[in-house]
């Protein structure tokens, strides 16, 4: 399989910058959209990618991502942790809940005729989460998104 533009971008970077990390996450989501494979495995992978997105947000804020669960999902516990002191982060609350909802649908209705379609929609929900959080991190000046800004942030070093 040829690499997508975002995957190529991620592989070129030797440092795990925020840009490269999010590009990698998006590339992995795009691969699931292109070739869903086993629906339950894909749903599990999307849930984990969603968790990774929220972990990046928390780490960039200097917090240790929780290992706890909320309503049976670590994703929801991570979101709750990420929204503490940052009410605007609740703008992705329903996106997280939609991802958990689709995971349940895919897992609990294995014979449903729309199972593959549901994987596709779940992937788009996961992608939205990644885009939203990376956008918020850029606005908040968290992480390293722009190589041109790096010398400025590093104090000219």
Partner 1 sequence: MSEKTKKQEYGTVGYYPGCALEGSANGYDVSTRAVAKKLGLGLKDVKNWNCCGAMEVKNVDPKLQTYLSARVLSNAVNLDHMNTVMAPCNGCYHNLKKAEYDLKHDAKSREVVDELSRKARHKTYEAGQVETIHALDWIKETIGEEGLKERTKGKLAGLKVANYYGCMYVRPRHIFPEKDQGPGSESTSKPHFMDDLLAAAGAENVEFPLKTACCGGAHTLSDSDTSTRLVLNILQAAEAAGADVIATECPTCHTGLEMHQVRAEKRFGKKTSVKIMYFTQLLGLALGIGPRRLGIHTNISDASDLIVDKRLT
Residue with tokens 């929204």: 83
Distances (CA, A) of 93 to 78, 81, 87, 120, 149: 10, 11, 10, 20, 30
Asked if 132 interacts with partner 1 (CB under 8 A), we say: yes
Q: Using CB under 8 A, which of the segments 57-65, 70-78, 118-126, 146-154 binds partner 1?
A: 118-126
Asked if 94 interacts with partner 1 (CB under 8 A), we say: yes
Task: Identify the bridge partners of residue 73 per DSSP, sorted by sequence position.
Answer: 70
Looking at the Cβ atoms of 11 and 88, the one nearer to partner 1 is 88
Site size for partner 1, by CB under 8 A?
24
Asked if 90 interacts with partner 1 (CB under 8 A), we say: yes
Looking at the Cβ atoms of 38 and 114, the one nearer to partner 1 is 114
Q: Using CB under 8 A, which of the segments 9-17, 63-71, 74-82, 97-105 binds partner 1?
A: 97-105
Give the single-character DSSP code of 19. Answer: H
CA pair distance 80, 66, nearest whole angstrom: 10
Helices (DSSP H) in 1-157: which residue ranges? 5-12, 18-34, 39-60, 74-83, 93-108, 115-139, 150-153
Which stretches of the chain bind partner 1, using CB under 8 A?
Answer: 87, 90-92, 94-95, 97-98, 101-102, 117, 120-122, 124-125, 127-128, 131-132, 134-135, 138-139
């Amino acid at each position: 399989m040829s690499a997508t533009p975002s995957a190529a971008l991620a592989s070129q970077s030797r440092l795990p910058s925020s840009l490269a990390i999010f590009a990698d996450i998006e590339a992995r989501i795009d691969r699931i959209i292109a070739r869903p494979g086993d629906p339950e495995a894909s749903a599990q992978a999307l849930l984990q990618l969603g968790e990774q997105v929220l972990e990046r947000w928390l780490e960039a804020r200097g917090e240790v991502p929780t290992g706890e669960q909320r309503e049976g999902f670590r994703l929801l516990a991570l979101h709750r942790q990420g929204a503490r002191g940052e009410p605007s982060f609740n703008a992705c609350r329903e996106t997280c809940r939609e991802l958990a909802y689709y995971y349940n649908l895919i897992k609990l209705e294995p014979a449903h005729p729309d199972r593959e379609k549901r994987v596709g929609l779940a992937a788009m929900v996961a992608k939205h989460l990644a885009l939203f959080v990376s956008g918020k991190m850029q606005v908040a000046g968290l992480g390293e998104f722009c190589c041109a800004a790096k010398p400025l942030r590093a104090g000219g070093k």
